[in-house]
Amino acid sequence: MKIVFASTPSQEEEINELVRYVYSNIFPLYFSDEEISKFEELKVLDTSLDFNTLKDAFQVMTSIQTVISILESSPLDEQYEIVFNKNVNTLKEFGLFFPFDFEQFIEGKTMKSPMLSIYTKADNELII
């Protein structure tokens, strides 16, 4: 007999927070608003799936956090490509759609100049 612990609501919320972070802080560094909008339509990193076990949820969280760390590094270093690909494959194994190659981010970083995006968080907010 094997005892398996189910994922918790707080873990699923953490996964959702990480995905929102990718959309608001990572994707705008590499892609245009139009492209990011298409990613939403294509359900990139869609978290409507339930992660059955505690271990599954932790693996997904860890993989997203690792991808974020790599993509936030400056300059984006090719030495992390193997780790990036391993974590992307883990996401795919759990049913999360992440159709990007490491090379796309290297190309995107060199071609994109910093600009405003509707996906980034506002630096300040006005409360009325």
Q: What is the pLDDT of residue 48?
A: 83
The CA-atom distances, in angstroms, between 12 and each of 15, 47, 59, 67, 75 are 5, 8, 12, 18, 31
Q: pTM of the predicted model, to two decimals?
A: 0.82
Residue 70 CB-half CA count within 13 A: 23
- Cβ neighbours for 121, distance < 8 A, ≥ 6 positions apart: 24, 25
Spatial contact of 26 and 68, defined as CB atoms under 8 Å apart: yes
Rounded Cα gap, residues 112 and 1, in angstroms:
54
Q: What is the pLDDT of residue 51?
A: 74
Q: What is the pLDDT of residue 113?
A: 52
Q: What is the pLDDT of residue 37?
A: 95
Which residues does the chain have with pLDDT short of 70? 1-7, 109-128
Q: For residue range 103-117, list pLDDT tens digits in order.
A: 999 877 655 555 566
Domain ranges of the chain: 9-111
Q: What is the pLDDT of residue 22?
A: 97
Q: What is the pLDDT of residue 16?
A: 93
Rounded Cα gap, residues 110 and 107, in angstroms:
5
* Token output for 20: 């929102």
Q: Which amino acid is at 85?
A: N
